[in-house]
Structure 1
């Protein structure tokens, strides 16, 4: 908790960014994006040099960064199916390790590549057998199977809809799709959000989570969460603007709620993507510094960003989306190893101090 507010981080993933994990040439530009991103969004003390960042991160490091070096209570592990990397960049195996070691701290999103055809369905079946606490399905709009990058859209009745139907048969109710941030020199069209409209209409019993919502296509995203109760915004990466571009975050956040107001505030939730950047400074800025200026509030008739609003975004909205009894879930982590290392109300450990690169952070 931070200042008495529970925190659920909607995305964490320990990437393997070693060159040995590169499967196709596309792995290098993807690695360059996330590696440079760490240094561009982080304040002093939270930056890592390239050699310290581009390595195989362990799930234990992501766990301690989240629960010991930060105020996070629960975190959602995303299996990432980026086939430019041998293990997809964030492996199933690390997720299974988290499940075995810290089942009360983690929730899980399985991940497949819809353009792999039958293999995608088989992968989904297998992961559903392996993970016990699956709360969602993670997808990417590009496929890196060969030397050329292919793309697909969420409203494709032949590619996307069969995957949604298969996930639904497994009891999955939330589909998370990476949007807004193109991963390298690829077509922008697959990162737009327009294609989510038809998916939300065709599958009203599923929820669609826009990961990186607010980084681009603000007007379209704002109208989506106004028109569709089953479309949600995950603030992963967008949250980093709180630290390096606070005015830009204010404009983005105001734009997201400009049409839906209080209703829209109920469809936005917190995510950091730990370990892409260190989660702590962004969270502290959101809780302790962020507000909408009187000028923006008055001009657009926006609601106040109160402590209750922040509480909803940091944990309650995500818990409601997934049917999580937040009080019961938090009671299960009392007295665990992370609670003993950082009792509620105490200062987190220094950034990266529990990882293998604590001595090179600058």
Structure 2
């Protein structure tokens, strides 16, 4: 199967720039543990730390059914000194395991930064990124700065540059507002103009359906270059299956099954219980009686990997055949283990055992001056 989004996280007092970062990091920890099924809660010392590429790899390859993973970096430099999800660990992951196992590494820029365009060029030329993950808002001095795709001075130049660089793939965070940014900036309305202006660009709605469900389903129905990425939304299948049924049914009915990408978000999320829950999941009879199509094994296979492969220009049958015969490092590691490790065994407990109390990155920067 294909993991639609993986990251390494760096959530710690040492990396936090302001109190909003502290609240964001602590809030994420509470949310992910509230949503994980029993037995999959993450200890704080495995969250409030700087993850490594090796930890992410072992979590995916040894603790789950994931065969192939797409890496997303982020640029939350309004909260975290290194952006929270570093690009260099994704590059390291692909260098170690190859572009068959890690076919996509998404770069990230702050669109309102003076060096945004130059940084895009650098990431494509030096890091070989395949596209860019963006956020629609930036926090500065208590205000929300607009970074929406349809902003002609901000988002549009970024898309134009991605096309020029030959990586016409843009993914945007569209739910769960970070810190005290205005939630209105997170809606999917800016994707309508962008998808219409740039039909050659692939746009991913990240966290699709978790918020703005009606708007997202109409996007899928009208724009063939818009895809639904289920990162975090997939959590609902295990802990709130009725809500998951509503979200998935709407996306399927309006957009069809071909552009829905399974995605969980390790290392913040343990993918295995969600994968298992989804494979066993069926729509309740009430929805089937109202015209929702049955969730067949064929549709599940599409969502769990075939769609992502097609989006990346790969033939699912060819990839499946290669997986049966491949004897790379991942295959060897799996062959050597007698059984799967306990959940989170791959993440080393090197962080703080308590939630963050204060930001230190800014304090350190001030002291360095």
Common fold by TM > 0.5: yes
Taking the aligned partners of 1:345 and 1:211, their CA distance within structure 2 comes to 34
- Aligned residue for 1:349? 341
Residue of structure 1 equivalent to 2:244: 249
Q: Which residue of 2 aligns with 1:313?
A: 303
Please point out which of 170, 173, 180 is paired with 2:165.
170
1:279-312 CA-to-partner distances (Å, cap 9, x unmatched) read 111111001x21112220221x122211110111
Residues 1:20 and 2:17 are matched in the alignment: no
Aligned: 1:275 with 2:267: yes
CA contact (8 A) 1:237 1:273 kept: yes
CA distance in 1, matches of 2:118, 2:59: 33
SS of aligned partner of 1:114: coil
Correspondences of 1:88-127 after superposition (within 5 Å): 88-103=83-98, 104-106=100-102, 107-117=104-114, 119-127=115-123
Using CA pairs under 8 Å that are at least 6 residues apart, name the structure with larger relative contact order, 1 or 2: 2
Task: Note the C-alpha offset of 1:148.
Answer: 4.2
Distance 1:344 1:228 in 2: 45
TM-score (norm 1): 0.90
1:52 aligns with 2:46: yes
Q: CA shift at 1:72, angstroms? A: 0.5
Task: Report the CA distance between 1:354 and its aligned residue.
Answer: 2.3
Following superposition, the deviation at residue 350 of structure 1 comes to 2.3
Change (3 A) 1:70 1:249: same
- Does the C-alpha gap of structure 1 residues 344 and 86 become closer, same or farther in structure 2, counting only changes over 3 Å? same
* Alignment of structure 1 residues 220-259 onto 2, 5 Å: 220-259=215-254
Aligned alpha-carbon RMSD (Å): 2.2
CA distance in 1, matches of 2:337, 2:257: 27
Q: Does 1:157 align with 2:152?
A: yes
Distance in 1 separating the partners of 2:272 and 2:344:
10
Where structure 2 has 5 or more consecutive residues not aligned to the other structure, the ranges are 354-369
Q: Distance in 2 between matches of 1:97 and 1:146?
A: 34
Matched, 1:186 2:181: yes
SS at match of 2:42: coil
Contact 2:159–2:168, Cα closer than 8 Å, also in 1: no
SS at match of 2:5: strand
1:349 is displaced (CA, Å) by 2.9
Instruction: Tell me which of 208, 211, 216 is aligned to 2:206.
Output: 211
- The count of aligned residue pairs is 346
- Match among 76, 84, 92 for residue 82 of structure 1: 76
Give me the whole-angstrom Cα distance separating, in 1, the residues matched to 2:177 and 2:41.
Answer: 23
SS in 2 for 1:102: helix
1:268 Cα deviation after fit: 0.5
1:347 Cα deviation after fit: 5.7
1:199-223 deviations in Å (ceiling 9; x for gaps): 1111111111000001011111111
**1:355 CA displacement:** 2.3
Tell me the distance in 2 between the aligned counterparts of 1:341 and 1:136: 30
Cα separation, partners in 2 of 1:177 and 1:346, compared to 1, 3 Å: farther
1:65 corresponds, among 40, 59, 65, to: 59
How much does 1:67 deviate?
Answer: 1.2
Structure 1 residues 329, 87: CA separation in 2 closer, same or farther (over 3 Å shift)?
Answer: farther
Range that drifts further, 214-223 or 52-61: 52-61
Does the 8 Å contact 1:24/1:147 carry over to 2?
Answer: no
CA distance, structure 1, for counterparts of residue 204 and residue 233 of structure 2: 14
TM-score normalized with structure 2 length = 0.88
Give the Å deviation of 1:343: 4.3
